[in-house]
Homo-oligomer: A and B are copies of this chain.
Amino acid sequence: MAMKKISQAELSVMEVLWMQSPQPASDIARKLAAQKRWNIKTVKTLLSRLVDKNALSTTKDGRRFLYAPLISREIYARKAARTLSDRLFGGRATPLVAHLAEGRGLSDEDIADLEKLLSDLKREGLNNER
């Protein structure tokens, strides 16, 4: 049942549905219109393809459909992060963060957040120990 790959354009549609769901195509198209200049037909094509790919479920609502994600943003994001990290950073988080830091720089807040995350992770590690 391995989920097929979601394309760039399709991902934009997923984002709208991850923010709220279920929604009919018309609403999705309206929200997307802010960023992309897509004809509603285009949005509908993308929706159909996502349904084919088992990324969305549909429920009938009168003569139209309501769409909802079948994969969570969490899972998708995790997979994408994993893939990138494996592919370009040998699966290590540090070089990835280092690359992000370079050029853009991490804010003080980012650094504080990361430190907190790390201390939480260490605490977990200890718990698993015994």
Interface residues of A (CB under 8 A from B): 11, 73-74, 76-78, 80-82, 84-85, 87-89, 91-104, 106, 108, 110-111, 113-115, 117-118, 121-122, 125
Question: What residues on B are CB-neighbors of A101 within 8 Å?
Answer: 93, 117, 121
Known: A78-B103, A121-B101. A11 touches B87 (CB 8 A): yes
Question: What is the bound-complex CA distance between A5 and B38, given in angstroms?
Answer: 22
Q: How many copies does the complex hold?
A: 2
Q: Are B121 and A92 in contact (CB under 8 A)?
A: no
Q: Are A96 and B96 in contact (CB under 8 A)?
A: yes
Could you list some 17 contacts between A and B, CB below 8 A? A76-B88, A78-B100, A80-B84, A81-B84, A81-B99, A81-B100, A82-B100, A93-B97, A94-B110, A94-B117, A96-B97, A96-B100, A98-B117, A101-B117, A111-B118, A114-B118, A115-B118
